[in-house]
Every structure is written in structure tokens, then in C-alpha cells.
Amino acid sequence: MELVFPIDLYSGKAVDAAVKMYEPYASFELEKTDSAYIVRLTAQGDFTDAQIADELANYALGASVEGGHE
């Protein structure tokens, strides 16, 4: 599954922190473009890609809001 986090809404630090938080539950591939952080994930264990994607996106948004846009 692929998630796209627009740079004008999400901080790179927040996206990185979200990926680190969910590394035990999925494998990740990261890419940065001029306009977005792209995260590709494959869930592991009992979780689906959609479950991990939802949780990761919520974490990244919360961390971006708490930390400000950097």
C-alpha cells in the first residue's frame, strides 16, 4: 500500500517517527519527492495494510501538528 504525505502538511520528522513506531508491524520503503513524502508499506503478522496505513497516517498527522511544520 502506498501513502502520500504532502510536504506542505506533514513534517519529514513526523513521517519518520511514524514509520519507526510501526516498524514492528510492517516493512516500509520511503521516498521523498519535491512535493511529498511517499511511504510504501506491507503489513506483517495479524494486521492488514489498511490498518497499519490508518494508524501510521494518524500518528504522522498528530506528530506534525504537535511539532509544527519543519
pLDDT band at 68 (very low <50, low <70, confident <90, very high): low
Per-residue pLDDT tens over the stretch 7-66: 999 999 999 999 999 999 999 999 999 999 999 999 999 999 999 999 999 999 999 998
**H/E/C letters for each residue in 1-69?**
CEEEEECCCCCHHHHHHHHHHHHHHEEEEEEECCCEEEEEEEECCCCCHHHHHHHHHHHHHHHHHHHCC
Q: In the chain, where are the structural domains located? A: 2-65
pTM: 0.90
Indicate if the pLDDT at residue 67 is higher than 90. no
